[in-house]
Chains A and B, each alone.
Chain A
Amino acid sequence: MALSETHGLKSQWACRLACQLIKSHHGEITEAVCRQLVTRGLQTLPDIIRGCDLTGSQVKQALLLLIQHNYASVYTQKDDENARNAKPPVALYEPNVDVIVQILRRPRILLHLREEQGVRAEQVGELMLEHGRITYEQLASAMAGRMECSEQEARHAARDVLMALINFRCVERAPPCNLPPPNVPTHPNATKKRAKSSAGSAEAAAEEAAALKSLEELKYSHLRFKAQPSRARMGTEGKQLGKKMHPAKSLLSSWTQMRQQRVKGSSLRQAMDVLWRLNYEELNRRFRHACCVRLARSNYDEDTATVMEAMLAAGRSCETKLKEERGANLSVNQVQANVRRIAGAKRRAQEDKEDESEHGADGLKDEEQEEQEQPEEVEELCSKVSSIIGRLCADPFEPMSYANEGPQGSTFCVNMSRIIDQLKLKELEAVARDRYGTGGLRIFRLLFIHDQLEQKQVADMSMLPPKETRELLYRMLQGGFVFLQDIPKTADRAASRTFYTWHVEWEPVSDHFSTNLYRAAGNVWARLQHELAKNKELLDLVEEAQIVGQLTFNITHEQKLKLGALQRTARVLEASLIDMDEMIALFNSY
């Protein structure tokens, strides 16, 4: 991932889209700073100022805005304190192109929060997207403004929703600025080959140090999903009550108590000042799981989809990275328990929708009841879990596989990367068919299955006329779907004595296509901006009327028609962007 993202072509169009989005959301100055960051990568403030022809204060303001919205990260580069010529710490800034591009994913994020956690969660998500990073206090006051209720009620609601979102890992603490810069792996071809450093040498020690997490990173990973710091070491009051102490000890104790009070107060203050933000990694993980479930639903049946959903949900907390290859290992009993839990949650959500008034008060009690009393269809599904898992494991596509023998018997896991690869392949096949016709699809699949084939072999095996085959192959070569390799028989590489074979390479094809996705999304965004700029006068008129508060204002019939057409155009383009974002996520994020 890191290596593929560092190479120019792929990120070029992602960077263009990122700059376009920043420009339309935050203006030209911020876009200039963002462009400097995305073109040069990790750099210091003076470097940024030198690179973008803006004043220092403008750059600082733009950087603050980018950091506030999580579009840029700050790191502190420190030299070893014991080193002889240690330099003072330097702040480094790096763009988060992935987060910027996910501006297009906002509607999906809000919809997901609404479906999973309810309307309040959607409101909190909306506020977090609006502010980027937000404290609990700010969130509570903003919620009060939106909910039209007393501040106390809003505060309670904000706290409950925030706690729930933190528990589900959809919200996390914003990282501090004292984290060390990420260790960017160099490409193996860029380093000189040398003998492996021997154990105990200075080089080996440096490698080990680079592999270890710094103290700041460990501290952040420990606190990342904690609403308040641990009180275990704070609540020592009253422990020694009733015990007679030495005056000196008593003095020491009172001094310790005072210090602890001070520490506790500052910790609580710190807890109140914590900045929270949406955890895009977790949200993308959930979208990735939803993709797997969707495939199971479309290719198998609803029961299979429910079993897969239960397995993925059970292993979600164990996943350490987004592009995890496999899910957690689960036994049939564990899957059955999760199926019951999910079925209960779904039914509760359905009931909540039907009757809003009954929601909330006895939520936990209901959940406990659900665990015990399940409707017949859920029990029927639980009885089928074993056969469903067996069928999925026996499928040649292997969406699920046997893992090992655990304390509860055989365990199984979901092959997530296999499912995602299958989804990508099917999308690519559909694109090949739409761009080059059924002949193009046939050739693509033929080469994908058989690998290296000569042009004549391709024509014979695909049963297409040689001329059509040749034309299709060269068009697909231009489009990055197939590749041509020359295998010379002699050293002079004469064309008459060379074999030319065609083949499909999965990773370059996928990478090239993901680049095209960014490029196409950028084009749609550019077109949308062009359409809005073309009708700027009309839009200004409407905006002015809205500011003044006029419900009805005079526009000509022609302007009315123009406005209607613009609305339709904008709707179509925005819907296309949301659809494109799903494909971008599939080929880049998942």
Chain B
Amino acid sequence: MSAPKAALDAIVEVLRKHKKGVSDDVLQKELPQMTPQDRAKAINDLLGSKRLQLFHVGTGSKRTMHYKEITAEEAAKYKGLGPEETLLYQQIKSVGNTVDAGGRGRLLLGGKGWRGVRGSSPSDHTPLPHPRILDITQPCKAAHPQKYTENQFDAAFIDALRDACMQFIQRKGNTTLREIGEFIASKKFAKVDLRDEDIHSIIQTLVYDGRVDTVADEFDEEDHFTPIMHPVPPATAFTSIPCGVCPVFSECRDDGVVSPATCEYFDKWLEF
């Protein structure tokens, strides 16, 4: 049986007064007319409907349980989580994304795949990904905005490797995978040794970007890499006009809602 609505509203009102959270003692003082049973029932209902958040304040014998109201925005994030997962989420949040390995395994079982928590491998390339909460601002995130992705690899680290490979190929003119591997190893970009396949995959992305050519050599069977001979032009006539990059280009008609005569992109382009 659920608690009466009046009791729920009274507790929420008290919680709103104390934005940083209140302990059970404070609640008792603020709501003297409410019996402990009614209060417990109301708190459980609020926890069940993800309107209330539980957290601990203090350590050791001074550790007390506090309640805090959850905003609508926060509540959306807890949607689909069970009570245990909610607590784990709160724990990760409270410790600032440095959860211990014991909690990690359980969290991955329950939390991976959910949009609030993502696995990512840090730059020391340990096999087990660290659980992270996306909306927690981290100092490292500012420096490497693409560091943690769904792809489970470190994009910033890959980009750094790609740039290093590109510079090496440009400097050497014609080089092999072995030479590039030696260069990467000598520069100690990674704490662990990168395999040839990894470096080859990275160089292949440079090939797909149109920055590097793969050429076969008559004298050895190894693939050779050179800077691209026919580079992609820096600009085209088509994309220099608004139509070239217009998102509603396919809907543009002479007498339509979107038309060249009333086009805002043209207006901006022709503003001198």
Contacts and interface: CB of A to CB of B under 8 A. Distances in A.
Do these two chains really belong together in a complex? Answer: yes
A583 B210 contact: no
Interface stretch (A135-143, A169-177, A193-201, A458-466): A458-466
A430 to B, nearest CB: 5
A573 B267 CA distance: 12
Nearest to A534: B261
Given A431-B244, A526-B260, A568-B272, A441 B239 contact: no
B236 A427 contact: yes
A467 B238 CA distance: 28
B151 A426 contact: no
B215 A467 contact: no
Contacts of B230: 295, 299, 397, 422, 426
Among B231, B260, B272, the most chain A Cβ lie within 10 Å of the Cβ of B260
B240 A429 contact: no
B204 interface: yes
A431 B234 CA distance: 10
Given A397-B230, A463-B201, A526-B261, A442 B238 contact: no
A114 B260 CA distance: 35
Contacts of A427: 233, 236, 238
Contact of B208 (A431, A462, A466): A462
A434 interface: yes
Interface string B251-264: 01010000111010
Contacts of A430: 232-236, 239
B161 to A, nearest CB: 10
A467 B254 CA distance: 36
A464 B241 contact: no
B67 to A, nearest CB: 36
B98 interface: no
Contacts of A579: 237, 240
A519 B215 CA distance: 39
B114 interface: no
Given A397-B229, A430-B235, A526-B260, A435 B244 contact: yes
Contact of A519 (B151, B237, B243, B270): B243
B158 to A, nearest CB: 6
B149 A527 contact: no
Nearest to A300: B229
A434 B149 CA distance: 24
B238 A426 contact: no
B151 A396 contact: no
B252 to A, nearest CB: 6
Interface in A140-176: none
Given A527-B260, A569-B270, A572-B270, A520 B241 contact: yes
B232 A465 contact: no
Interface string A543-566: 000000000000000000000010
Interface string B174-208: 00000000000000000000000000011011011
Nearest to A530: B261
B78 interface: no
A582 interface: yes
Interface string A458-495: 01011111110000000000100000000000000000
Give the interface residue-count category, chain B: 35 or more
A19 to B, nearest CB: 11
Given A445-B210, A526-B260, A568-B272, A576 B232 contact: no
B209 interface: yes
A232 to B, nearest CB: 51
Contact of A441 (B204, B209, B238): B209
B195 to A, nearest CB: 15
Contact of A438 (B149, B158, B209, B260): B209
B235 A462 contact: no
Nearest to B272: A568
A434 B245 contact: yes
Among A459, A530, A565, the most chain B Cβ lie within 10 Å of the Cβ of A530
B260 A565 contact: no
B124 interface: no
Interface in A419-456: 422, 426-427, 429-431, 433-435, 438, 441-443, 445-446, 449
B153 interface: yes
A516 B270 contact: no
A517 interface: yes
A527 B243 CA distance: 11
B238 A583 contact: yes
Among B232, B239, B254, the most chain A Cβ lie within 10 Å of the Cβ of B232
A582 B149 CA distance: 42
A322 interface: no
A29 interface: no
A216 B84 CA distance: 91
A312 B270 CA distance: 41
A523 B233 contact: no
A524 B153 CA distance: 44
Contacts of A526: 254, 259-261
B73 interface: no
A449 B208 contact: yes
A426 B232 contact: yes
Given A463-B202, A520-B244, A431 B238 contact: yes
A527 B266 CA distance: 8
A582 B235 CA distance: 14
Interface string A496-540: 000000000000000000001101101110110011000000000
B229 A524 contact: no
A463 B202 CA distance: 8
A442 B260 CA distance: 31
A65 interface: no
B162 to A, nearest CB: 9
Nearest to B202: A463
A589 B241 CA distance: 22
A434 B246 CA distance: 11
A431 B236 contact: yes
B138 to A, nearest CB: 19
19 contacts: A426-B231, A427-B236, A430-B233, A442-B208, A445-B207, A445-B210, A461-B201, A462-B205, A462-B208, A463-B201, A464-B151, A520-B241, A520-B243, A527-B261, A530-B260, A569-B272, A573-B270, A580-B241, A583-B238
Given A441-B232, A519-B249, A568-B272, 4 more contacts: A299-B229, A445-B209, A526-B259, A565-B272
Which 8 pairs across A and B sit closest by C-beta, in order of nearness?
A579-B237, A434-B239, A520-B243, A530-B261, A526-B260, A523-B260, A442-B208, A527-B260
